[in-house]
Structure 1
Amino acid sequence: MNVVLIGYRGTGKSTVGKMVASRLGRTMVSTDAEVVKRAGQSIPEIVAQHGWDYFRDLESQVCRDMAHVDGLVIDTGGGAILRPENVDRLKTAGTIFWLTASVETIMKRIGRDTQRPSLTGTKSFIDEVRDVLRERTPKYEAAADHVIATDGRPIVQIADEILARL
């Protein structure tokens, strides 16, 4: 059984995932990192050259492949839940934890990250975060087995909560 972390950019999936994996003695894998590896390009390059649909296709292939491996901690990209087949595969393969954070926390955490391409292309950063969260929240809720708030909490406390719920 896998531990699957979902949530918007900057909610702590990668950081918390590393700690959970370490404490469980498991391998942590990132769907975004695997997409980059397979494409041989960064996410901004993939999106600029091929578009978001192509990126999502690669992401779906990665989710499919990871769902066939047991004993992983999977850090998903923020949009992995946009495709129902990804959610179905990940739910079948593990327990899904939705990591949440406020818009303000997300903006502090990812505000200057140039490796994260715009999801909307035209909106201000704060409007993009609010709008995309509004759109995705029902999908995160539907996919999640557990919801973990990360605002103002130490990483170790978040990891402890995940481990207690396994």
Structure 2
Amino acid sequence: MNLVLIGYRGTGKSAVAKLLAERLQMKVISTDEEIVRRAGMSTPEIVAKMGWQYFRDLESAVAREVGALDNHVIDTGGGLIERRENIQALASNGRFIWLKATVATIVARIATDTERPPLTDGKTFTEEVAEVLERRNPIYEQTAEIAVDTDTLTPEEIADRIMEFRKSTVP
């Protein structure tokens, strides 16, 4: 069984995935890192040269493949959940955990991140985050078995909460 971390960028998925994998003696895989590896270019380059549709198609291919793995912590890209097929691919052998944060926290954490191109045009960074969260939060909530509010928690504390959840649900 895989643990699938979902949530917007800046919520701690990558750091928490590494901690969980170490604690649980599982392997970790980042869907975004796998996309970049396969494309041979950074996410901004992929989007600039090929477009978001191409990126999302690569993301779906990666979701299908990592969904077939076992005993992994899967660090997903924030938008992976926007395609139902990706959720279905990962749900067959995965438990979804939503790492969430407020717009203000996300903006503070990722304002200087240059690894992601804008998702919307003509908006401030804060407006973009708010707009995208408004669209994605219902999907995250519907998909996840548990949500962890990461606003005031360290990655270690987030991992602790997930470990407690896992203990309470594993026979």
Structure 2 length-normalised TM: 0.95
Q: Residue deviations 1:46-78, cap 9 Å, x none? A: 000111111000000001000111000000000
What displacement does 1:122 show? 2.1
Q: Where does residue 74 of structure 1 map in the other structure? A: 74
User: What secondary structure is seen at the aligned counterpart in 2 of 1:55?
Assistant: helix
Aligned length: 166
Q: Where does residue 169 of structure 2 map in the other structure? A: none
Moved over 4 A (4+): none
What displacement does 1:107 show? 0.7
Q: Where does residue 118 of structure 1 map in the other structure? A: 118
Q: Distance in 1 between matches of 2:109 and 2:17?
A: 16
Superposition pairs of residues 13-162 of structure 1, within 5 angstroms: 13-162=13-162
What displacement does 1:3 show? 0.5
What displacement does 1:121 show? 2.8
The aligned amino acid for 2:89 is R
- Alignment RMSD (CA, Å): 0.8
Q: Residue deviations 1:133-160, cap 9 Å, x none? A: 0011111111111111101112211101
The aligned amino acid for 2:19 is M
Residue identity (%): 53
User: What secondary structure is seen at the aligned counterpart in 2 of 1:4?
Assistant: strand
Q: Residue deviations 1:65-124, cap 9 Å, x none? A: 001110000000000000001111111111100000111110111000111111113211
User: What secondary structure is seen at the aligned counterpart in 2 of 1:29?
Assistant: strand
Q: Which runs of 5+ in 2 are unaligned?
A: 167-171
The aligned amino acid for 2:134 is R
Q: Distance in 2 between matches of 1:90 and 1:146?
A: 16
Which segment drifts farther, 73-82 or 146-155?
146-155
The aligned amino acid for 2:84 is P
Structure 1 length-normalised TM: 0.98
